[in-house]
Every structure is written in structure tokens, then in C-alpha cells.
Chains A and B, each alone.
Chain A
Amino acid sequence: MKIGHLLALLCCMISGNLLGQTGKTSYEITVHSFFNGRPLQRDSLYLNEWGEALHWNQCRWYFSRIRGVKTNGDTVLLSNQHFLLDGLTGPATVQFTGPSPVGIKSLVIQLGVDPAVNRQGIQTGDLDPAKGMFWTWNTGYVHVKLSGTSAAAATAGERFNYDIGGYQPPHVTQRQLVFPFVADTHQQRTQISLQAEWSKVFDAQHAIRIGQYAVCHQPGALAVLLADNAAQVFGLFVPKSPQP
């Protein structure tokens, strides 16, 4: 095993040297989570568009297939990893090394897990089913998991729980997010700041009232509506000037 690793490392070093620059830039993508402009956190009370008061308990999602699109239309794969992010523990960050950002004009991120991965048995790391972002009985990943409590929820414990997943047509729920490539690049470090405005889950494209839909725990039409809304949650981070 050890020798195998050593050899692999050597090979990587050699081929890396021969091929030049690949994998040299380190990227850091930070996502700041909000609800109606206020930082998202566990013990705060928020109101959605429909006047439903809610507390958050879980807010986790996958980012994958991070790509750059160049001015000439070429797509560069920046990272083929899957990252599990948490919106309730302060700014969430993704770090990886990838090819140079020179010439990239937009950034594309898949919200969710790659369809192929859903058929390949058990994964490790962020994709380990032990992370709780997985359905066994109808095999597939939960791309986005949002849960909390609200008096509007007609369920035990007034819980609402949106497990957004499903990769088989017609109920596909992974989404491609596109952002202008606005990065802070110093030498070989590229930093990108995004924001997530979670109130949009309830109203961005489809009206989701907790009173009407308190749970989504399987692939299907509701998961698709929620996925459409979740895709609108993300945008470039615009630091707000403090309110007067």
C-alpha cells in the first residue's frame, strides 16, 4: 500500500512537472448564508414571504463540477470533487486546486450530486452516506437538505423538512448555477465570494408555503419545485453597508 502511494505520488510529481501548470491555482469559494438579509443561524426567528415564522435546524447542500467558461466559450473543469456545505455554521468554504483562472468569464457550479455517482455504490468523504444526505430505499443523494420548525407546519413537532433530491427524469433536481466570474486573484490564490439568500426557497419561482408543503422526503414533483427555487438562492456576494 505505502509503496503504491509513494509511486503514485512520484508519478504525479513527474507528470505534473512535464505537463507544466495544471492544478497550480488554489481556489477558495466562500458562501455567506442569509434569510431576508440577516445572517442565517439556528436560534433566530425568520419570516418567509407568506408570513410564516420559522426557525432553522439544518441547511446543507452539495456543490460539484465546478467549471469556468472562457471568453471563447471553452469550458474548463476547475474541480471534479463534491463538497458538502453547511449554511448554519458561519460562512461555508470550498477549497481546491485547479487550472489557472486566466480568461475565465463565468463560473458554473452544479448544485447537487452528479447523476452517475448515484449508481456507484457507497462513496467516502463528503459523499459518505453517514453524512445523512442520502436515501437508501430509493437510492440517491439528497442535494439540498433544509429543515426547521414553524407553527405553520401541520406535522409532529411542527417540523418542516425539505430533502431535495432525485436524479431520474422527469424528476431531475440537480441544478447548474451560473455566476459572472468575479474573483480576487493574488499570485496563485483565487478567492470567490457567493451569497445564499434562503428566503428564496419559499418564493423564488414557485410558491412554497410551509402550511401547504411541510415535508419533501422523496424524489418527485415537489422536489422539482423546491430545486427550481433553491437554484435561485445563490448569487455573487454583495457586502452590505451597515444599515443606518
Chain B
Amino acid sequence: MKNKGQWMIASLLATALLCSAWAVQYFVPKKRPFKIPAGWPQPVYDFQKNPLTEEGIALGRTLFYDEILSKDSSLSCGSCHQQFGAFNTFDHPLSHGVEGQVSFRNAPALYNLAWMPSFMWDGGINHLDLQFLAPVTSHQEMGADLNEVLEKLRKNESYRKAFKAAFGDPTINTQRLGKALSQFMLTLVSDNSRYDKVKRGEAQFSLPEQLGEAIFLQKCAVCHQPPLFTDFSFRNTGMTKDLFLQDSGRMRITGLSADSLSFKVPSLRNVTVSYPYGHDGRFFSLMNVFEHYRKNLRSVPQTDPLLKQPLALSNYEIGQLRAFLNTLTDTSFLTNPAFAPPGQAFRHTAPADNHQ
């Protein structure tokens, strides 16, 4: 009798074990390897602490396009970071926030974030996972208090399911929110422009493009270093301080006067579609930027040694530089349906105005 009871318990236990093993198997999120394009440096993002999974990426994408992250449910990350502008704020110098407030900087394009060591124009944010906290908790942007956002998500059945699918249990906390958003943003890799095809030997530069590359390598590449087209440093390019915005750039973070008006070197991939330009969006066109480098820059003691003098650029050279910069447009990135709002096809036309 006693023996039989023990057997019963043992076999019950065994079944339970098998079942839970099966459940574990069943719920393990599907890994997605992160591909490093040939010849690119190692990413700085620590994928071991946040391995990419199909479920995690899908959750991040949903969150990225969900207004639930803002106080008055009027804005999502995607409202300011739009795919057709390489995830910048298309055609708006300063991003519009909750309740019509204007934030004091131009929303940068988002791609190749796995290689970026620090975020924001002044580099003040030191980890991609943290970035979403800036708009969610700043009065100028999404305004919503973080705890309110977490509560809203926790009350939502489909989010509980999605977090469970991505992380194994339905816990929703700040860390997981950040990780999920990062997973989606990390997949925004732009490595398939005409420039990349030429470097892979799949295409050839036209003569103007080739001449443009030579000028670029000579005059721009120290800061806008290929293949990422930035060295991620902070530099003063002789842009004068906007008296209304009073933005001292990197100095806001370090407190050092040597960093006054230094801003992070932006990548130039997809630059033709990511206008306006500059940390405050003061340049409406590439021509404005060229005019800055060759005429308008004001050298101050903090200005980068490479830009102490305006750059010598003839109209002719500008034409060639422009041809080269055009090769950095990555159409497959800009139209990739995997980056569009979930369930929505890519919209080829930018909305005429995105104000409300």
C-alpha cells in the first residue's frame, strides 16, 4: 500500500516536471541574432543583458507607436520619430510635445543605435534603455509620470500578455519597458544605402559621387567618420548660441566651459531625408549647412581646431559633396515594413502637417 502511494506521488511529480519543462520550452522567446554589417565596429550595446527576441522586438515596436506612453495620450515615440525622415521629426525644427509645448532641440534621426555610446545632442544619457524616460518624464515632452504609465500598461490585458511572451512572466516595470523599446530600436539598422552597396562591390559610384567622396574624406570624415558617419564625439562647430533657447550643449552635462556649444557629431546616413538639420534645427536644407561650414561659422576659443577657419568649398565641390551624401540614403531602411506601426503598411507620403 505504502509503496503504491509513493509510486503515485513519484509519477505525479514526474508528470508535473515534464509539463513544466514543456511549458518552459513553449514560452521561451525566439532569439533573433544581431547581425554586424561586414567591416563595421563591434556594437557598444550589451546584448547579453538584453538579448533580442522576436517577442521583445514586437513588444518594443508596439510600445514605440503607442500613445499610451504620454500623459494626454496624444503622442507616441513614433509621432516625433517618423520613419520617412529616418525617425527624426520630419520637417519640424523643434519637436512638439504634450499640450503644444515645444522642446528645445531637434529630434535626431534614429538608426544604428547599437553603436552609439551616449544619447541626446549633449550625450547626457548614458544608456539606450534609459532614453525613453526622457520624454516620458520631462514636462516638455510626454509629461506623463512614469508610474502612471506603468499603471496604464499593467491594467492592459494585451500588454500583460506581450510582456509575458517577451520576458517569461507578466511583470511590467521600468526596466522591462526600457528593454523592450531598446530591442525594437536596436533593429533599426541602416546599412543598405548605395554607399554600402558600392563598398560591398555590388554597385559603382558615378564620377560626381566619387569626387564627392574624396572631398568628404578630406574635409568631413574626421568627425563624420565612415562607416557610421560619426565618431560620437562632441564638437563646437562655430554655431552661435540661440539667445532664446540658451542651449550650451555638452557643457550642460560636464559643467566645463571648454564644452560650451559642443554637440554630438550626428551621423550623416539618410541625411537627405532627415531635414531640418543641427541640434536646434536651424538649417532647413543641406545648402544652409554648407553655407555654415564655408561662410557663416563663428570661431570662438572652444571651436574645434578643424573648423577654426571656414572650410574652403566651391559651388562645384558642394555639388559633388551633395552627390556623395545622396548615396547615403537607404531606401530599404526608410520603407522597411518591419519598422512601420504594427499592422500598418508603410506610408510613402509624409503628412502635410503633423501639428495636431
Contacts and interface: CB of A to CB of B under 8 A. Distances in A.
Interface of A: 1-4, 118-124, 128-130, 134, 136-139, 171, 219-220
B126 A139 contact: yes
Contacts of A139: 124-127, 130
B259 interface: no
Dominant secondary structure of chain B at its interface with chain A: helix
Closest 7 CB pairs of A and B: A121-B129, A122-B175, A121-B127, A136-B133, A139-B126, A122-B178, A138-B124
Interface of B: 17, 20-21, 24, 27, 49-50, 120, 124-130, 133-134, 137-138, 146-147, 150, 168-169, 173-175, 178-179, 252-253, 255
Contact of B130 (A3, A122, A130, A171): A122
Nearest to B46: A121
A137 B175 contact: no
Contacts of A128: 173-175
15 contacts: A1-B24, A1-B27, A4-B24, A121-B178, A122-B130, A122-B175, A122-B178, A128-B173, A128-B175, A129-B146, A136-B133, A137-B120, A137-B134, A138-B124, A219-B255
B322 to A, nearest CB: 35
Given A119-B126, A121-B49, A121-B178, A138 B253 contact: yes
Nearest to A123: B175
Contacts of B137: 136
Given A122-B174, A122-B178, A124-B173, A138 B127 contact: no
B74 to A, nearest CB: 21
Given A137-B138, A138-B253, A130 B146 contact: yes
Contacts of B17: 3
B150 A137 contact: no
B127 A137 contact: no
B24 A2 contact: yes
A121 B130 contact: yes
A118 B126 CA distance: 9
A119 B128 CA distance: 11
B175 A1 contact: no
A137 B125 contact: yes
Contacts of B134: 136-137
B58 to A, nearest CB: 20
A77 B107 CA distance: 45
B253 to A, nearest CB: 5
A136 B120 CA distance: 11
A123 B173 CA distance: 10
Contacts of A129: 130, 133, 146, 174
| Residue of B20, B126, B252 ringed by the most chain A CB atoms within 10 A | B126
A138 B252 contact: yes
A138 B175 CA distance: 18
B123 to A, nearest CB: 10
A137 B124 contact: yes
A65 B126 CA distance: 23
Nearest to A118: B126
Nearest to B136: A136
Contacts of B24: 1-4
Given A1-B169, A137-B134, A120 B150 contact: no
B323 to A, nearest CB: 38
Contacts of A3: 17, 20-21, 24
Given A119-B127, A122-B130, 19 more contacts: A1-B24, A1-B27, A2-B20, A2-B24, A3-B17, A3-B20, A4-B24, A121-B50, A122-B175, A122-B178, A124-B173, A128-B174, A128-B175, A129-B133, A129-B174, A130-B150, A137-B125, A138-B253, A171-B255
